[in-house]
Structure 1
Amino acid sequence: MNTRPEKLVIGISSRALFDLEESHRVFETDGREAYCNYQIEHEENVLEPGVAFGLVRKLLALNEAESERVEVILLSRNSADTGLRVFNSIAHHKLPITRAAFTSGSSPYRYVSAFGADLFLSADPDDVRAALKAGCAAATIVPGHSLAHEDGELKIAFDGDAVLFSDEAERIFKEQGLEAFAASEVSSAGKPLPGGPFKAFLEALTRIQAEFDPARCPIRTALVTSRSAPAHERVIRTLRAWHIRIDEALFLGGMTKAEFLEAFGADIFFDDQATHIGSASQRVAAGHVPHGVANE
Structure 2
Amino acid sequence: MSKTADKKQLVIAISSRALFNLDDSHRVFMEQGLDAYAQYQIDHEEQVLEKGEAYPLVEKLLRLNDHMEHHQVEVILLSRNSADTGLRVFNSIQHYQLPITRAAFCGGQDPYRYINAFGCQLFLSTDPQDVRRALSEGVAAATLLAGGHKREYGDQLRFAFDGDAVLFSDESERIYKSQGLAAFSKNEQQSARQPLTGGPFKAFLAALHSIQSEFPRDQSPIRTALVTARSAPAHERVIRTLRAWDIRIDESLFLGGLTKAAFLKAYGADVFFDDQEVHCSEASRHVPTGHVPHGVANEG
Q: Retained in 2: the 8 A contact 1:54–1:148?
A: no
Query: Does 1:20 find its partner at 2:18?
Result: no
The residue identity in structure 2 corresponding to 1:35 is Y
Amino acid at match of 1:159: D
User: 1:241-295: per-residue Cα shift (whole Å, max 9, x none)?
Assistant: 0000000011111111111111110000000001111111111111110000000
Residue 141 in structure 1 maps to residue 144 in structure 2: yes
* Equivalent residues of 1:69, 1:208 under 8 A apart: no
Residue deviations 1:30-80, cap 9 Å, x none? 211111111111111111111111111111111138655200000011110
In the alignment, the residues of structure 2 paired with residue 154 and residue 55 of structure 1 have an alpha-carbon distance, to the nearest angstrom, of 8
Q: For residue 294 of structure 1, what is the aligned residue in structure 2?
A: 297
Are the aligned partners of 1:156 and 1:267 in contact in 2 as well (CA < 8 Å)?
yes
1:272 aligns with 2:275: yes
**C-alpha distance 142-80 of structure 1, shift in aligned 2 (>3 A):** same
Count how many residue pairs are aligned between Structure 1 and Structure 2: 295
Counterparts of 2:182 and 2:71 in 1: how far apart (Å)? Answer: 48
In the TM superposition, what is the alpha-carbon distance from 1:4 to its structure 2 partner? 5.3
Matched, 1:43 2:45: yes
Residues 214 and 43 of structure 1, relative CA distance in 2, 3 Å threshold: same
Is residue 58 from structure 1 mapped to residue 50 from structure 2 by the alignment? Answer: no
Distance in 2, matches of 1:3 and 1:240, equals 30
**1:142-176 superposed Cα distances (whole Å, 9 cap, x missing partner):** 12224363511100000000000000000000000
Which residue does 1:7 correspond to in 2?
9
For the residue of structure 1 that corresponds to 2:65, the secondary structure is coil
Distance 1:9 1:174 in 2: 34
Whether 2:87 is the aligned partner of 1:87: answer: no
Q: CA separation in 1, counterparts of 2:71 and 2:96?
A: 19
What amino acid sits opposite 1:252 in the alignment? L
> What are structure 1's unaligned runs of at least 5 residues?
none
Between 1:20-29 and 1:272-281, the stretch displaced more is 20-29
Q: Structure 2-normalised TM-score? A: 0.95
Structure 2 unaligned regions, length at least 5: none
- Asked if the contact 1:223/1:246 (under 8 Å) is kept, the reply is yes
Q: Which moved more, 1:176-185 or 1:251-260?
A: 251-260
Scaled by the length of structure 1, the TM-score of the pair is 0.96
Q: CA deviation at 1:221?
A: 0.3
Root-mean-square deviation (CA, aligned residues, Å) is 1.5
Percentage of identical aligned residues: 66
Distance 1:3 1:96 in 2: 20
- The 8 Å contact of residues 71 and 211 in structure 2, kept in 1 or not, is answered as no
**CA distance in structure 1 between the aligned counterparts of 2:42 and 2:147, rounded to whole angstroms:** 27
